[in-house]
């Protein structure tokens, strides 16, 4: 059984997750999420009984053929690559500056 001293999840913790996710929620949802994360922390902390199993990440083993032979195919055309970009300039996807 896992036991540890739990601090409540606060709204500032949710702000931290928003920063890492690069998105913002409104104040009402931030409060709801703090409560929900807190509830999850308690639920799993109180999951009774020893858990001897290893974590399961996939239901079955996945065979990966990463060393397959190269197959030559036609690449995407420039028009295809650019067709979904919100902003383009001179045949390239336009992005904001990384370095000021």
Partner 1 sequence: MQCSEDAGRANQGTEGGAIMKYLSLPLTRIHEALVQKRVTPLQLVQEALCLAKEDTCHCFEILFEEDALAFAASLKEPEKENLLWGIPYAAKNNFAVKGVEVNGSSRILQGYHPLYNATVIKKLSASKAILIGMTSMDELALGGAGVSLLSGPIYNPYDPRHERMIGGSSAGSAAAVSAGIVPFALGSDTGDSVRKPASYGGVIGLKPTWGRISRYGLYPFAPSMDTVGFFARYVEDAAIVLEALSGRDERDFSSSKEKVDPYFLQCKTPLSQPRVLVIDDIVNGVKDKMVRESFERALHQMTEDGVEVAHVSFSRKSFSRDLKLLYPIYLVLSSAEAVSNDACLDGIKYGIDVDAENYRDLMRKARSAGFGKEAKRRFVLGAFAMSKEYHETVYMTAARIRHRIASTLNDLLIQYDFIIAPTSPSIAPRFDYPKKSLEENNNPADHHLILGNLAGLPSISLPLGYEEGMPFGINVMGRAFDESRLLSFALAFEKRSGLCSEYYGKKERQ
Q: Is 10 in the site for partner 1 (CB under 8 A)?
A: no
- Residue 23 CB burial class (10 angstroms; 0-12, 13-18, ≥19): exposed
Q: Is 22 in the site for partner 1 (CB under 8 A)?
A: yes
Handedness of CA 84, 87, 91, 93 (dihedral sign): negative
Pick one of 27, 67, 73, 84: the residue that binds partner 1 (CB under 8 A): 84
Q: How far is the CB of 21 from partner 1 (least distance, A)?
A: 5
DSSP, res 75: P
- Residues found in the chain: 100
39/41 Cα distance (integer angstroms):
5
Q: How far is the CB of 37 from partner 1 (least distance, A)?
A: 5
Residues that bind partner 1 (CB under 8 A): 2, 4, 9, 13-14, 17-18, 20-25, 29, 32-33, 36-37, 39-41, 43-45, 47-49, 51, 53-60, 62-65, 68, 76, 80, 83-87, 93, 95-98, 100
């Amino acid at each position: 059984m896992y036991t540890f001293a739990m601090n409540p999840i606060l709204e500032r913790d949710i702000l931290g997750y928003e920063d890492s996710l690069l998105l913002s929620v409104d104040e009402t949802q931030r409060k709801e999420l703090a409560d929900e994360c807190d509830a999850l922390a308690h639920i799993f902390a109180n999951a009774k009984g020893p858990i001897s199993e290893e974590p399961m990440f996939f239901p079955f083993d996945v065979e990966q053929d990463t060393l397959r032979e190269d197959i030559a195919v036609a690449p995407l055309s420039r028009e295809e690559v650019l067709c979904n970009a919100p902003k383009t300039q001179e045949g390239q996807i336009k992005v904001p500056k990384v370095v000021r």
